[in-house]
Structure 1
């Protein structure tokens, strides 16, 4: 049981019907926050998250929005205020990714990846910051990034670009809003067993690949949810512009893997 206390606080989590977003919404609720559960197309799963939030003794609402739509994101932030009176925490988790070599990529999918993964994060960060400034009590914003921000994984250029961009954006924003006591941080989840990841890999592939990670397995969404709650914990009010890497060692040099020798 976590000892993070978020009672009285209100959070928005994008892409919260599945995977890391779902785990983040539930962890924040477990810590006492009211939660706006954003979804784009998985209404049933979003409603299941709300049912779990209520079982945890917290309040929640679902909000349908495509985060690539700036107006929809702004309306979602307003819905948090209309329903719960304020906004204290914003978690940008929603993402999209096609996997193709850049010179063969379908450009509609390439643009969609950037629009959701980069612009969606920016729109939430901007709208949440504006509301937190109006409140005058600070706040915490967490952008879900990835080791893709600094590892040039092939067939993922649009996603790599987007994650790298939001990292620079988050650090720039952290400087610009520090005077308002708004903290902006990043989490970099490694290879995590989520429905989105299973879009690209079979169970056999996930298991065999996970065994090669230095800690010997894939991450799970609940671990990422706890890390997000840590970054949003008001006790960590000296933490801003930081990136928390939670990847089981996958981004370590390849010779750190068990049984491998360092190069000469």
Structure 2
């Protein structure tokens, strides 16, 4: 990211004057991204589907950083709503420089027990929603002729076959390939497309699957010993969109506290060492 150039100790604003839309940004990771972009100087359009009050709170937080913040309700599973989101964002902000595809949906069931409606909803939001937002946003940027940045928030589950999450795994794997292909196709328009793989992040959505006690217990087992924070993902998005990062496109930034490392093997190494130490004492 750009260095502090203000001279008074305040952080620089590498995205000053840029205009961003972030899908699914009323809670969790999307909230962290919106606030981080605002802190970096970007005007933001916050998208929500069912958490209007939370979205307004995010907008107020963004405005405290001296930027514009707009709200647009839109269901990312509805292509017409996605088109309206992009149109309204560009109209209200006077253009579009940054598109962040963050909205996702997931339910946890084994393949043989899955409800097809839940599978379709996961694919419609997490894959088709991402595709429509990327395409609609890219069209705006191409028409404007000034380049831009697209960031797709994906998941390590694009590569890890997590049982009980087949539809989500499929959607994220497809989104990764979509983003890389878009990066190739849009390079001549000076539109950069990159992917972020967050690890296990402390968000309200995780409470859908785990109790608070279980979350904290499992977090201690991770390589970094804690869950990630939404603002840490937000800073990664700012880094990718920073003009100083303009040679980065078609890349995947992993922000996961080491969750994709073979840390289970480390536990086996430590257990072996413990057993050898005990054997030497005997």
TM-score range, shorter chain: over 0.9
Q: How does 1:200-219 map to 2 (within 5 A)?
A: 200-219=209-228
CA contact (8 A) 1:4 1:233 kept: no
Could you tell me which runs of 5 or more consecutive residues in structure 1 were left unpaired when the two chains were aligned. none
Considering only CA atoms, is the larger Rg found in Structure 1 or Structure 2? 2
In structure 1, distance between residues paired with 2:242 and 2:185: 21
In structure 2, distance between residues paired with 1:86 and 1:153: 39
CA contact (8 A) 2:223 2:263 kept: no
Q: What is the CA distance between 1:4 and its match in structure 2?
A: 4.6
The alignment partner of 1:103 has SS state of helix
CA contact (8 A) 1:4 1:230 kept: no
CA deviation string 1:41-94 (max 9, x = no partner): 000000111111111111111000001111111111111121111000000100
Residue 45 of structure 1 corresponds to 54
Q: How does 1:104-183 map to 2 (within 5 A)?
A: 104-183=113-192
CA contact (8 A) 1:171 1:241 kept: yes
Distance 1:262 1:162, change over 3 A: farther
CA deviation string 1:184-226 (max 9, x = no partner): 0000000001011111011111111111111111101111111
The alignment partner of 1:251 has SS state of coil
In structure 1, distance between residues paired with 2:259 and 2:107: 21
Report the count of equivalent residues: 263
CA deviation string 1:122-157 (max 9, x = no partner): 011000100000110100000000111000111000
RMSD over aligned Cα atoms: 1.5
In structure 2, distance between residues paired with 1:10 and 1:260: 49
User: TM-score if structure 1 supplies the norm length?
Assistant: 0.96
Task: Give the stretch that moved more between structures: 54-63 or 178-187.
Answer: 54-63
The alignment partner of 1:261 has SS state of helix
Q: Moved runs in structure 1, 4+ residues, more than 2 A?
A: 1-4, 254-257
In structure 1, distance between residues paired with 2:152 and 2:142: 18
In structure 2, distance between residues paired with 1:201 and 1:177: 40
In structure 2, distance between residues paired with 1:241 and 1:51: 33
1:234 to 226, 233, 243: 243
